[in-house]
């Protein structure tokens, strides 16, 4: 058996990834503010999972420690940093216009001790921001970093509502982005209209990925369109499928009447019609 280590999970951003830290003898509870040791200095975080054990294979070594439960002074400093970040973003936006740089600022982030200020931005290409960094360093008297991010990260940082009417999944609960393919949309029976299967970021919707396992399971249980099945009313061919409800529309062989609706659990598959693959899918 692999050795177990006691850890707590800490998040630095509401919609960000959680990381393991050694509690160092402290009993932490979910939602508690803590100061933790990181590679770039002490940082302010929130407990996402209280004390628990994980195998050593799940830990990225060396495992950093929880230094202390955040004090009122720590919380006040963190809140002050949030206000300073908003002001820094406005200043940087003015300087970007002044330098006529093709970049869109998304967020500014101070380290807890204010020794570093990071600006996140998006751009269609490479940006020469060396002069901008010099001006920012002279203005804020701290180490400056500019990080180019993708449109999916931008959506996570800014937040918003998706076409489903819910808060973006990436903002609400997804910790990591995973590859999404058009093949997933086809297997889920969705329209291939880009405007209907793309999120506000312009990329394929993340929900296509984490719902894929459920659709693969339902597809394994459900006859495809064109399959021959035996129903309580006779033998026929499947002409329409609803994977979620499990209902099928079946055109009976010896009937000129309207197709009948029957649940997949009520039919026996006689021969399955295999889905055709286009050249793009065959090359995958």
Which two tokens mark 141? 């008297």
pLDDT 10s digits, 73-90: 999 999 999 999 999 999
CA angle 230, 217, 189 (to 5 degrees): 80
Q: Beginning with the edge strand found earlier in the chain, give each strand of the sheet holding 228-231 in spatial order.
A: 260-263, 247-252, 234-241, 228-231, 268-271
pLDDT band at 29 (very low <50, low <70, confident <90, very high): very high
CA distance 192 to 171: 25
pLDDT band at 279 (very low <50, low <70, confident <90, very high): very low
pLDDT band at 164 (very low <50, low <70, confident <90, very high): confident
Which two tokens mark 189? 């029976």
CA distance 32 to 188: 40
Question: Could you tell me which residues are beta bridge partners of residue 85?
Answer: none
Q: What integer pLDDT is reported at residue 275 of this predicted model? A: 57
- Give the pLDDT mean for 139-146: 94
Task: Please state which of the ranges 65-69, 163-167, 180-184, 226-230 shows the lowest mean pLDDT.
Answer: 163-167
pLDDT 10s digits, 50-77: 999 988 888 888 899 999 999 999 999 9
SS3 category, 50: strand
Q: What integer pLDDT is reported at residue 274 of this predicted model? A: 56
Task: Please state which of the ranges 1-10, 28-37, 261-270 shows the lowest mean pLDDT.
Answer: 1-10
Q: Beginning with the edge strand found earlier in the chain, give each strand of the sheet holding 143-148 in spatial order.
A: 104-110, 116-122, 143-148
Q: What integer pLDDT is reported at residue 263 of this predicted model? A: 95
Phi, psi of 91 (to 5 degrees): -65, -45
CA distance 202 to 130: 30
What are the strands, taking DSSP E only, across the chain? 4-11, 18-21, 33-38, 41-55, 66-69, 104-110, 116-122, 143-148, 228-231, 234-241, 247-252, 260-263, 268-271
Q: Answer yes or no: are the C-beta atoms of 209 and 178 closer than 8 Å.
A: yes
CA distance 54 to 92: 42
pLDDT band at 156 (very low <50, low <70, confident <90, very high): confident
CA distance 113 to 51: 26
Phi, psi of 30 (to 5 degrees): -60, 135
CA distance 79 to 73: 10
Which two tokens mark 174? 């997804």
All structural domains of the chain: 4-70 (no CATH), 76-149 (3.30.300), 156-214 (no CATH), 223-271 (2.30.30.30)
Q: What is the pTM of this model?
A: 0.72
CA distance 261 to 277: 27
């Amino acid at each position: 058996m692999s050795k177990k280590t006691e850890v707590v999970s800490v998040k630095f951003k509401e919609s960000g990834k959680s990381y393991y830290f050694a509690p160092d003898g402290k009993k932490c509870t979910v939602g508690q503010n803590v100061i933790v040791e990181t590679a770039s200095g002490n940082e302010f975080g929130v407990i996402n999972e209280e004390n628990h054990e994980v195998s050593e294979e799940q830990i990225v070594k060396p495992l950093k420690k929880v230094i202390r439960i955040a004090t009122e002074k720590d919380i006040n400093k963190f809140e002050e940093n949030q206000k300073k970040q908003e002001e820094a973003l406005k200043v940087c936006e003015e300087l970007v216009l002044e330098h006529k740089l093709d970049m869109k600022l998304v967020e500014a982030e101070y380290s807890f001790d204010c020794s570093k200020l990071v600006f996140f931005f998006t751009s269609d290409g490479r940006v020469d921001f060396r002069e901008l960094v010099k001006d920012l360093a002279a203005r804020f008297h701290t180490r400056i970093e500019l990080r180019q991010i993708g449109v999916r990260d931008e959506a996570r940082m800014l937040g918003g509502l998706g076409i489903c009417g819910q808060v973006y999944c990436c903002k609400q609960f997804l910790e990591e982005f995973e590859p999404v393919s058009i093949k997933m949309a086809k297997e889920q029976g969705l329209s291939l209209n880009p405007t209907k299967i793309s999120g506000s970021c312009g990329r394929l919707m993340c929900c296509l990925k984490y719902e894929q396992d459920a659709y693969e399971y339902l597809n394994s249980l459900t006859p495809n369109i064109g399959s021959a099945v035996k129903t309580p009313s006779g033998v026929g061919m499947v002409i329409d499928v609803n994977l979620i409800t499990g209902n099928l529309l079946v055109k009976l062989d010896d009937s000129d009447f309207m197709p009948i609706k029957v649940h997949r659990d009520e039919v026996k598959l006689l021969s399955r019609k295999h889905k055709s693959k286009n050249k793009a899918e065959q090359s995958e």
